[in-house]
Amino acid sequence: MSSSGLRRLEDLLIPLEEIRLATKNFSEETLIGGDGLNRVYKGQFTERLQNYTAAVKRFSSYNYQKEGFFNELNVISRFHHENIISLIGYCNEDTKRIIVSEYAANGTLDTKRIIVSEYAANGTLGDHLEDPNKLLSLTWPQRLKICLGAAKAINYLHLGLKDCVVIHRDIKSDAIWLDENLEAKISSFEVSVVGDGNQQHIYERIAGTEYYIDPIYRESGILKKEADVYSFGVVMFELLTGTLARNEMKIGDDKPLPLINLVRRYYNIDGLDTLIDRQIRDQIVRRSLDTFKETAYRCISYNLNDRPSMDRIVKRITEALDIHNHAAASTIAIRCHLHQNLENPLIPLEEIRLATGNFSDESKIPNTRVYKGQLSGRWGNRTAAFQRHNPKYDEAEFRNELQMMSNLRHENIIQLIGYCDEEGEMIIIYDYAVNGSLESHLEDESQTRCLTWAQRLKICIGAARGLKHLQASHGENKILVHRNFNGGNILLDDNMEPLICGLGVSIVVNRNTGQVHSIPVGPDYYIDPIYRESGIIKSETDVYSLGVVLFEMLTGMLAYYGSEEPQFLINLVRRYSYDDGVVKLIDPHIKDQIDIHSFLIFKEIASKCISLNLKDRPSLNRIIKRIEEALRVQEQGDASTIATRSQLRRQDKKLEDFRIPLDEIRLATRDFSEKIGEGGFGVVYKGQSSKSWQNCTVAIKRLNPEGHQGNNEFKNELNTMFRFHHQNIINFLGFCDEDNEMIIVNEYVSNGSLEDYLADVLNKKRRSLTWVERLRICIGAAMGLDYLHWGLGENNRSDVYSLGVVLFEMLTGLLAYYEKAIEKGDEPQFLINLVRRYFDDGLDMLVDRSIKDEMDRRSFHTFKYVAYACISLNSNDRPTIDTIIDRLEEALEFQMLGENPCPLGEQLEPEATAKVTGDGSDRGSRENPCPLGEQLEPEATAKVTGDGSDRGSSVAGVSRSFESKGCRGCGVGSKATQEINDRHGLRVK
């Protein structure tokens, strides 16, 4: 088969008579599979087709099967890869559509949506998982090799074709065939999609197989390569557990659940070991297992940005296989009980002396007590780093680090190999990080200039993920605090992936109360000043240090270097933050490549990390999601370097640069003829600007000179709006103060206000808002408020109350100023009065009927608790915006997962309770937050406008422009946009 491009399909035509002869006229004795619509036969062809034994799939006459036939033919004819099934030929005579491909001797064929493939000698992977005798023959290394082959095939589909990308859409164990050598071969391309590399596809009819379909794709209809990654992650867990995804399993007395539901429930509490196939438990090397399961778990993440590329998956599975092969002589048994701590091996001092040349100067890493060396074959000939501790001063740190590291396995934490404690030597042995430390890169300008902004963001994301894993490694009620987090303890592997090390002074403390430590430890310039003053250790201690590292990455400056004596980095950051001058500190090596929106997102979250108010510091979940967003924005903007530069120059523009001539505004509005809203402030008009001025549809707010907003208020609003740059803030375009006019020009929002949707008497608009859409709108609005508070340098808890009112409006479908009686004989009451009355017993009676049947019970409870905390009459009890966003995203995660649909009347299970405490901090167990509200950006984005004040949905505008529904658009693609207009109560018509 040629690899030099597409084969001509005409050359692959096989006469119908030849196929009849090969299959004995489609006799029952040659039938090997079928699904009621399509039938598959074994065929023995003549010399003309090289005596091939082949599988022949005969399609039904239904129209959609005809589409599947031509789609499969078009897709599979493009391929030439050792891990993809081969096409032999096809027939399209006498209305019979047949595809012929290579045949294998054994196994069954799932033909529900599968184009016949090279039916390999050992059948499908699904056959093996279903048959205990076949499963018994699959060892751990064989399973790794099967995964590796399948991953290579999918990677080829995603990256290996020059002119296109293929998304399979139906990856599953029954689509993976095994040849006589148990080599994997991918089949089933009936519903595959061929497209441009940067294209995303939107489909109303979701294709795939239940239990393997990406829930994000299922919910949104948006198809990306990550959908295949999710499905492959399911297959990985099938191989690990020895069970098909559709089979239910149970642990202990818990109720049976499908495989992936069990994985999500037990992954972070060490229960996953009990799910591992008993046949391979005694074969698995722990590090091989950890590498494999961590990769598989990232594949099924609800955050698209967390999912690794197939190229990365290939590397990680290869690594797991190499680890197994190197350590095959010293395998370990994985026991079934929880919280099993495996001892790391003692490595003799003589071995270490041999590996390091007796601690020679040549093997020593400069300015450290670490040596590079090569271990012998007993330890897999691994290149390792040997960290020597001074027994006189460092014994406590040595023992502490060993204890902490023995329980930690994560791709962003350095891997412990072993230790030595003999003859007065105390040595810890780790994997060697090829690219040294992050600190060394920032110290050396030649290395710093090689770090692109995208690379820096990826390093920050990995470091934050490692820190998150550290903190969560001791269960729900304890956290591990690093206390020495800095660039010197962030190592970089050969792929520039960050690896956290240096846990000698780390400590485990109570999650809720922290711990007082009399002598604060940690490096100057990175140590949290609150911890330094009080001695109180909390999770926020590490968050501060992470914030310092984030600013080091942005500026290219180490925290202890100052460009303006005696101003060190964080002093400079604080000095320039007040006038948006941080842009002046951006590393010159990346200033021309950085996207302004990426910069603003990053700066905002980094600034929160170093806040001197603990409550303002974000959770690590939030940090990860925001930096991922900054990376996504940066990568989307990479195609336009010129635009990026002009965006950065906008930072240097003055408000005067946005003045628009009055004649231009009169022309755009046809002399103020199309009114779309009004209030005490004046009137809002719709306008179309000319080509000389952005050429877009705009909303023009013309203030009433006799109204309550005067010139001072007008200027204040201008200065405020001019400072905002955020996807959830309405875009400020310009202003006019000519001839005593006071006009503000903003982005136009096409679909009116949220109030319009909730107040629709015919209920058509309100009913069109699903629970998932409402959650996304709430998340977007909260993110806009979050930015406003930080943009204004304050944290306004009165806004939190108002946001809580809007949350209950979304839940109930009732506007806050409507009165309603719930029970017969009661006096009608306003919404919030009803909420307070029925919250503890009967809130479900208030839930909007149009969404009640679709709501997940845990999603409902998570939402209602955070909404109720927002409207607390004690402002100090109201949660921070960060906490609100985390809770809303958790509610969205539960809804997407959909394990526990309503009835809402059931009591909330204790483990599902989302708790918000008086200080707004998180007391629940949130091992796997779901940032779907961010990543499904093409469907829903919320925007906040005006000065950030909130009056409920009466000032909330929503622009929903779904491409598939043909709604009138405003240049935002398929985004559903909510905007809170301003404090004056604009109601858009």
Contacts of 523 by beta carbon, 8 Å cutoff, 6+ apart: 484, 486, 488
Predicted local confidence at residue 267, as pLDDT = 80
Predicted local confidence at residue 216, as pLDDT = 85
* Cα 984 to chain centroid, rounded: 37
Assign 750 a pLDDT band (cuts: 50, 70, 90): confident
Assign 331 a pLDDT band (cuts: 50, 70, 90): very low
- pLDDT, average across residues 34-61: 74
Assign 933 a pLDDT band (cuts: 50, 70, 90): very low
Q: Greater confidence, 220 or 637?
A: 220
608-613's contacts with Cβ under 8 Å and 24+ in sequence apart are: 608/547, 608/790, 608/882, 609/543, 609/544, 609/546, 609/547, 609/548, 609/550, 610/544, 610/547, 610/548, 610/551, 610/570, 610/573, 610/574, 612/529, 612/530, 613/795
What are the structural domain ranges in the chain? 1-119, 122-334, 349-431, 438-650, 655-747, 754-980
Amino acid at 141: P
**Lookup result for tokens 């403390």:** 509
User: Are the C-beta atoms of 149 and 185 separated by less than 8 Å?
Assistant: yes
In CATH, the number for domain 438-650 is 1.10.510.10
**Secondary structure string (H, E, C) spanning 223-292:** ECCHHHHHHHHHHHHHHHHCCCCCCEECCCCCCCEEHHHHHHHHHHHCHHHHHCCCCCCCCCCHHHHHHH
CATH number (3.40.50.2000, 3.40.1280.10, 1.10.510.10, 2.60.40.2550) of 122-334 reads: 1.10.510.10
- pLDDT for residue 957 is more than 90: no
Which of 444-453, 517-526, 799-808, 943-952 shows the lowest mean pLDDT across its residues? 943-952
- pLDDT for residue 482 is more than 60: yes
Amino acid at 95: T
Predicted local confidence at residue 711, as pLDDT = 76
On the 0-12 / 13-18 / 19+ scale of CB atoms within 10 A, 235 is buried
Q: Greater confidence, 892 or 41?
A: 892
User: What would the two tokens of residue 765 be?
Assistant: 């608009």
Predicted local confidence at residue 235, as pLDDT = 97
H or E element that contains 443 = helix 438-443
CB atoms within 10 A of CB 819: 12
User: Are the C-beta atoms of 515 and 559 separated by less than 8 Å?
Assistant: no
- pLDDT for residue 672 is more than 60: yes
The CATH superfamily holding the domain 655-747 is Phosphorylase Kinase; domain 1 (3.30.200.20)
- pLDDT, average across residues 26-45: 75
Positive or negative torsion for Cα 691, 693, 696, 697: negative
701 labelled ligand-binding: yes
- pLDDT, average across residues 89-98: 67
- pLDDT, average across residues 294-313: 90
Predicted local confidence at residue 958, as pLDDT = 39
Q: Which class would CATH give 754-980?
A: mainly alpha
| Virtual torsion, Cα 825, 830, 831, 835, nearest 10 deg | -60
In CATH, the number for domain 349-431 is 3.30.200.20
CB atoms within 10 A of CB 637: 18
How far apart are alpha carbons 960 and 971 in whole angstroms? 11
CB atoms within 10 A of CB 59: 24
Predicted confidence (pLDDT) per residue in 374-429, tens digit: 998 888 788 999 999 988 888 888 988 888 887 788 889 999 999 999 888 999 99
* DSSP-assigned letters across all residues of 369-434: SEEEEE--GGGTT-EEEEEEE-TTTSHHHHHHHHHHHTT---TTBPPEEEEEEETTEEEEEEE--T
Predicted confidence (pLDDT) per residue in 256-277, tens digit: 889 998 888 878 665 677 889 8
Does 754-980 match 655-747 at the fold level? no
How far apart are alpha carbons 610 and 542 in whole angstroms? 10
CA atoms within 13 A on the CB side of 605: 30
- pLDDT for residue 50 is more than 70: yes
Which of 318-332, 388-402, 501-515, 737-751 shows the lowest mean pLDDT across its residues? 318-332
User: What would the two tokens of residue 317 be?
Assistant: 């599975």
Predicted local confidence at residue 1, as pLDDT = 37
Q: Which class would CATH give 1-119?
A: alpha beta
39-53, 276-290, 853-867, 914-928: which has the highest mean pLDDT?
A: 853-867
Amino acid at 953: S
What mean pLDDT is reported for the chain?
78
Q: 3-class SS at 702? A: strand
Q: Are strands 976-980 and 941-944 parallel, antiparallel or unpaired?
A: parallel
- pLDDT for residue 942 is more than 60: no
Peptide bond into 258 cis (omega under 30): no
